[in-house]
Structure formats: structure tokens, C-alpha cells
Structure 1
Amino acid sequence: MSLTVDEGIAAIGRVSGFRLSPEQFARFVGARGGMFGAGSPAPTHATYGFTPPALATPQEIAQTVDGIQARRPHFLSTGKHTKIEIGPGVIRRSRSWLVEDIGPAGGRVWRKLAAMTDLQERGNKRAITGWTAASRRNMVRTLASLDYRPLFERGGVPALVTLTYPGRSEAYGDRTWEAVAPTAADVKNHLESLQARFQHAYGYRPEAVWKMEFQRRGAPHFHLLLTPPRQRSRGDGLDFPAWLALHWASITRYEGQTTDEFAKTLMAATQIDYERGLKSYDPKRVAAYFSKHGVWSSKEYQNHAPERWIAQGSVGRFWGRWRLKSAMATMILPPQDVDPDTGEILATPDLRSPIMHIMSE
């Protein structure tokens, strides 16, 4: 059942403290396509004729790796060994020295021998002040290793969601966003607040991947990959697009904001794109989209934090994930399984075939 105009205005007022006029409310509903119960529900797999991908589970990956290890002889000795990390969309290889040691129970164990410089770097974490090539590599590796099956478990369709900050205002001009987000910590708190409100409204914490970028004016904005809920929010009965617009506009309120300025934020600060979400349905595609394509493209200004934030210290993480776990499994290959000159894995059928099966799921 649709909410009446008075009920919709009252719902906005309870959350935000602003009372929109009927004209402002009509513009909001018109701009968003009738989201106060009058619009269509969030799409399902059937809406787009979409079949969720049959992604390898963490258990399947772990069992495959365990099977490989069980079938192969291991002649471990002190020296350089190769570690293989296998995930749904990535295979990582690294080489390190292993040394024989005595475990707590008196048995033999093998420990990695780290260089002193590695130990020093681990103990001296640097403040994050910008987006670097190393940051990008770390993000791509991590996103390609996650288990994305929870995005499809409730029958909905993943979408790319954009969250922006208020534009120009009478009180602050073009620097309005600084009144809302004077520090990097404030911005991260806004995102955490949205996550908490989502849980209160829908009864569960969302699974998502997010990335923070910056507009030319310096204002931060977020991109998220998540699956919008199909049910209406508890309490106020809003469809998800209306709920998202209302609560993000409420979270990003600022002192001196007028009702008309709030209404503009309500209409313009959030976007939900199902078409792009459908292109990001497996780990490799997610990693590619967040690093190379569309809104994720590496335009120089998009990854430059405001000087004001940098002067305050670390700007915090540029990306992260909610409730999506790693599906990586690890195995150690002794020297005889690796070409000593090139470092390439020797192409024995019992090693290559199971790994390629995982990657082709």
C-alpha cells in the first residue's frame, strides 16, 4: 500500500527533522520514480533473466588444496619454498625461506624466515595520505579473493550505489561538504552510521564492497557494490531507494541547512545502478570494475584526498568490505615442484588440473 503525501512528509520529518512542503515532496517522489510504495519492488534474478554464477565455495577450494597436498610427496628442508594462495578469482604466488624448528609439542614445524627489513616495515605502519599503486594492487588482490555468494542469497540483484555530499549552500558556498565532513574520520563514521541504520531497518547487516573517491571540488563520495533489499524498511515502510535517499541526507545534515537545501540533497545525493551491478557478479569482474572501469576509473583528482585531511594525519582507508569473507586457501610447494631458474610451477597434471578447475567455476 502506498503512503499518502502527508504520511510521506511525516516519515521524512521523523528521520530528518525537516518538514517538506507538498511541492518539495512531489518533486522528490517524481525525481525518484514514486518510491513511497507506489513504485515497483527491487528487481529479482528473474527480472533481468539473470542466473547467479556458480562460484566455488571456500570449502571446495580448501578441499581441492588439501587433496593436492595429500597426493604429493613433500620433502621439506631448510631453503626456498613457494607458497600458492588460491581464491575464486586469483592465484597468488610468493617464495620464502623456510627453516626447521621445534614446535610446542616437541615435533618438527616449519617457519618462514623473514628478513630484518620486513620485520621493521611491519612494525612501522605509515599514515595513509593518498592512493598509490601498492594500494591499488592490494585492493585488486583482496577483491578477487572474496566469496561473493552472499550477494545472491536473498534473491535480489547486486547494484552499484553512489553516495555523494551536499552541494552549494547559502551558509558555506562551494565548501559545504567541509561543514559535513571536516575530517576523514567523520566520513567513515557516516558510512558506519548508514550500515547501522540499514541493520535496524532491514534486520541484517549488509554485505558490500566500498571505495572512497573525490570530486573535482574536493568533496568525498562513496561507491558501493551491494544487493538492495526487496522488502520495505521496518517502521516507516519505505522502498529501499527512498530509504537510502532519506537516511543518507539525514546523516549528512549540517548546521544552517535550509529545508530547500535538504530537499536538494534528498533528490540528488544517492544513485542505484542495477545495470552496472549485474556486470560485477564474480570476483574477477568486481576487481576489474573497482580499479579500471566506469566510475572506478583512475582519474587523477578522484584519488587525491583534501589537503585539509592530509594535514590532520592519516585519511584512513580508501576502500573496504562488509561481511564478505576471504575464500583463499594456501599450500606450500617444495623446491622440486618449481623451476629453479624461472620460479614457474612445474606443469604436473595433478597440480595444475584442480587449480584450473577452481578458476573456471
Structure 2
Amino acid sequence: MSELPQTDEVSGLVISSITVRSENIQKEDKKEKEKEKEPAVKKPRAKAKPRKKKKKKPPVISPTQKRLSEIGDTIPQVEKRSNQDTLTDYYIELTPASIRFSRKLFPLAKRSNYVERQVITQWSYKSRANMLKRLLSLDYTPLFGSEKQIPVMITLTYPGDWQTVATDGKAAKRHIALLKKRYESKFKKPLIGVWKLEFQRRGAPHTHILSSITMDLGHFQLWLSKTWAEIVAHPDENEREKHLRAGTQVKAWPDYYKETPHSISHYFGKHSSANKGGVKEYQNRAPDLWIEAGSIGRFWGYWGLVPATATALVSKEDALFMQRTLRRWHKAKREFKKVRVQRSKKIDGVIYYRMASRRVLRLSHQGGFISVPDGMAETLLAALKAHKGTPVENASETVSREPQMPNKSNSEPSSDTQVEEIQATPEKRVSLGARFKATVKRFFAPLMRIFSFKVRRDKTE
């Protein structure tokens, strides 16, 4: 190897460059140490501007809630007892389409058969009762309050290979949450409605949503199909194309179902019975894939709606009278349900099962709720006042709201005229039997007319 020429000039240049660099490094180190020794000077903070206090807007009271509060004020109430009292308190709760009775015993203690909240794996009788009780008490003014709003029923389904994208209940709930966010970002308002989770025969989940829109059904259908396919995002292109074409359905709310809590609860509850061996039982049975994964989650819910209630503390005598009156009114409707009963053959004792009809009972244990038509609360309070011997106030208004029943003959007066005649004279009081018969006749007038028409037609033929 050839050695580099070491001259004085070259060596001097190299030595000088190294010394200059080392001196610069030492100076920088001294400056940093001096900065560390110096105390840090705090800069004065700028004074924050005082925040303006936002004025709280007064709560908006809907017409439904206002009407219930007015009716609740007319209920004869009693004073609330102290927590040390061991007597039972009786409450009545009025909602837009139901009347509920409850009891509270002080001091409050857990029941002997109390069970804490568990993992949801099936649809039960209690689940259906809770759903109907809540749907009957909701205020649907935000959903159907404007004439521009078109009530629609939305159905969201999954592709044929649904196990890939909906492995458990959390995945399905996540898809619905993403759809709500897409809807809010698109239309600048939250999605309001009632939803119910069901299952097809093949096990695939699908969701029904009752909501309202302010645009054309066709344009909303196109946007919903594209958005739902993007949210589910099946990895297979063929499955994704099929899901884009047939993954959603938007239908207008049927005309024969009125936009009332009673009709909505009837629509959601007609196929939600938890009877074993029923025709639509499979719709409420979750697949084994979801049950093995853990909790299924909720089967139903609502968005953007608030219950409208009016609660009053009443005496035991008044509570029992109103319960018995409503129980007799419901019994006169003669409603039956199909139940699965066990039977055995007399010859060989073989056990078999068959479907039987049983009468539907309501308010049989001094508590519970019952679905009632509009105007039933005023009628019930008028009957209570008449039973207690107090003058019936505003009874003519209550009777005038109901349609008058035509007379069967010239000699027999209608039920409405009988009630008006009794209420016109303050000396006469409406007894329980007369009030009950008048109520039954008024509510079953159309059925009586149809039956009498068929009988007359058979006689003429």
C-alpha cells in the first residue's frame, strides 16, 4: 500500500480544522449549562374572557303530555307516607294508550325471587310485555307531528353468507350504529324511530325500523341500499352485489294502521309472542352462532322518543275499584289466546301436546297494565266519582267524544242517552252496574249492529 504524503502544510490544515470544531463544541456546551443554571422566567398568562352563561331553554311540553297532566290532576290523590310506614302505597299511571297500576311497600327490600340482570340469550314473555308497555307509553309527536313527514317501515337484511359479516350480536348492533351516523351526516338530523330485531328461517338477522322521512321514497331507497351495503361490506364481490340489490326495503306505513301508540304496539307485538310451537316462533330464536359467542343484546328499542306519563298516588279503595272496572271491561271483549297444553291418553297414558284456547286475563293480581282506547281514562274517572257519590264533572264532554249508538227500536233508548239522563239530575248517581253496561254497549255498538244485520238477513232469506 502506498503511504499518504505527510507534509507540514497538510498536517497543519488537518490539525487546525480539528481544533476549531472542538472549540465550537465546548462553547455550545457552556451556553447550555448556563441556561440550565438560570431560573426559568414564567410568562404572564393572558386573562381568560368570562364565559357567557347560556340561558336554559324551558322544556317543551307536547300536547300529549299536557293532556295527560290535566287528567292526572283530576284524580283524587292521598298524601305520601313516610319511609318508616309499613303500609302499601297504590299508584296509577296514565299513558297515551294504557293505564298501569302498581304497589310499593316501605321499606323497600329485594324480593325473595329477585334475579340480577343476566346475559340476554332468548326472547321471553317478560320481554314482550316490557316492549308493549313501553310502546304504549311513548309520545310519537316527533315522529308523526308534521304533515311533511311520511311514516315508513324500513327493513335491513344481510347477504346469503351472513356468518362472515355478522358473527355475533355486537357486530349487528355496530352496523345499526354506523347507519345512524350516516343518516345524521346526510340529512342533518338524528334518526328517530322504533326498531325490532328478528331472525329468518335460515338464521340470518334482520331489523325492522319504524321512522319517518321528508323526501321521495325512491331516492331514499337508493341511498339506503348503497349505504347499507357499504356498512356491511361483504368481502365477496358477488355477495356484495346481491346485497346491494336486495338488502333493504322501504314501505309506507299501512293506512289501516293508524299513527297511534295502540296501533304501533299492536303491529310490533303481533308476531312477537314467545309461545312455543307458534307459527312465528323462529323470528325470535337467535342462531347458535350468536348464543355461543355470548350475549345477543337487546331485541328492541327506540331513538329520539320520550315516554309521556302522569302518575298519581291513590287510596286502596279507589285503586281496587278502577282495576275491577277495567278487568270487567276487558273480560267483556272476550279475547282468547292459543297456548300449548299437555294431555295424556286414557288407554295407554301416552303424553302428547295440543293447542288450546284460553281467555286473556288482565289486572288479575292487583297490578299490571292494560291497553285502552282514547278517552277511556276520562270515562274511568267519571265512573269513580259517580261511585263515590260526588257530582260528575265534565261528564257531558266525555260522552260527546264517543260516537252515539243508534237505537235498536223506538222504545229502547241508547246507552248514551241513559248516561246523560242519569248525569243530568244530581240527585241520582250512576251505579257501577249501570256505568259498566253503558261502557260495554258504547264500545261494542258496531259489532252488535253487524250481528243483528246478519240475523235479519237470514230470516228474510
Q: Note if contact 2:77-2:313 (Cα within 8 Å) is conserved in structure 1.
A: no
Hey, what does 2:198 align to over in structure 1? 213
2:223 aligned counterpart, secondary structure: helix
Hey, what does 1:51 align to over in structure 2? none
Shift of 1:136: 0.5
Hey, what does 1:276 align to over in structure 2? 254
Deviations 1:96-142 (A, max 9, x none): 2246xxxxxxxxxxxxx334436x43xx2111101111111110110
Shift of 1:335: 2.2
Q: 2:296 aligns with which of 315, 323, 327?
A: 315
Q: Measure the CA separation in 2 of the matches of 1:98 and 1:334.
A: 16
Q: 2:384 aligns with which of 340, 348, 351?
A: 348
Hey, what does 1:138 align to over in structure 2? 130
Deviations 1:330-358 (A, max 9, x none): 1111224233896599942389989x97x
Q: What is the TM-score normalised by the length of structure 2?
A: 0.53
Q: Note if contact 1:89-1:284 (Cα within 8 Å) is conserved in structure 2.
A: yes
Letter in 1 for 2:385: P
Hey, what does 2:164 align to over in structure 1? 179
Hey, what does 1:117 align to over in structure 2? 112
Hey, what does 1:68 align to over in structure 2? 74
Q: Measure the CA separation in 1 of the matches of 2:190 and 2:393.
A: 38
Q: Note if contact 2:271-2:280 (Cα within 8 Å) is conserved in structure 1.
A: no
- Indicate how the Cα distance of structure 1 residues 202 and 318 shifts in structure 2: closer, same or farther if over 3 A, else same: same
Q: What is the TM-score normalised by the length of structure 1?
A: 0.67
Matched, 1:156 2:149: yes
* Percent of aligned positions that are identical: 36
Q: 1:242 aligns with which of 206, 216, 222?
A: 222
Q: 1:58 aligns with which of 57, 61, 65?
A: 65
Q: Measure the CA separation in 1 of the matches of 2:234 and 2:239.
A: 10
Q: Measure the CA separation in 1 of the matches of 2:182 and 2:208.
A: 18
Greater length-normalized contact order (CA 8 Å, ≥ 6 residues apart): 1
Q: Measure the CA separation in 2 of the matches of 1:303 and 1:225.
A: 18
Letter in 2 for 1:199: E
Q: Measure the CA separation in 2 of the matches of 1:139 and 1:193.
A: 24
- Indicate how the Cα distance of structure 1 residues 353 and 201 shifts in structure 2: closer, same or farther if over 3 A, else same: farther
Letter in 2 for 1:177: W
Hey, what does 1:263 align to over in structure 2? 241
Q: Note if contact 1:84-1:330 (Cα within 8 Å) is conserved in structure 2.
A: yes
Q: Measure the CA separation in 2 of the matches of 1:141 and 1:353.
A: 30
Shift of 1:230: 1.4
Hey, what does 2:105 align to over in structure 1? 97
2:311 aligned counterpart, secondary structure: strand
Letter in 2 for 1:88: P
Q: Measure the CA separation in 1 of the matches of 2:318 and 2:240.
A: 63
- Indicate how the Cα distance of structure 1 residues 125 and 353 shifts in structure 2: closer, same or farther if over 3 A, else same: farther
Q: Note if contact 2:229-2:247 (Cα within 8 Å) is conserved in structure 1.
A: yes
Shift of 1:275: 4.2
Q: Note if contact 1:157-1:277 (Cα within 8 Å) is conserved in structure 2.
A: no
Letter in 2 for 1:299: K
Q: Measure the CA separation in 2 of the matches of 1:288 and 1:227.
A: 19
Q: Note if contact 2:77-2:315 (Cα within 8 Å) is conserved in structure 1.
A: no
Matches within 5 A, 1:278-317: 279-292=257-270, 299-317=280-298
- Indicate how the Cα distance of structure 1 residues 207 and 332 shifts in structure 2: closer, same or farther if over 3 A, else same: same
Matches within 5 A, 1:73-84: 73-74=78-79, 76=81, 78-84=86-92
1:230 aligned counterpart, secondary structure: coil
Q: Is the radius of gyration larger for structure 1 or structure 2?
A: 2
Q: Note if contact 1:157-1:278 (Cα within 8 Å) is conserved in structure 2.
A: no
Hey, what does 1:224 align to over in structure 2? 209
Figure out how many residues of one structure are paired with residues of the other and give that number: 272
1:94 aligned counterpart, secondary structure: strand
Q: Measure the CA separation in 2 of the matches of 1:192 and 1:75.
A: 43
Deviations 1:267-321 (A, max 9, x none): 1111111143772511011111001069x99611111111111112210000000
Shift of 1:239: 2.1
Q: Which runs of 5+ in 1 are unaligned?
A: 1-54, 100-112, 168-175, 233-237
Q: Note if contact 2:194-2:303 (Cα within 8 Å) is conserved in structure 1.
A: yes
Q: 1:338 aligns with which of 307, 315, 319?
A: 319
1:276 aligned counterpart, secondary structure: coil
Shift of 1:203: 0.3
Q: Which runs of 5+ in 2 are unaligned?
A: 1-61, 325-365, 368-379, 403-461
1:138 aligned counterpart, secondary structure: helix
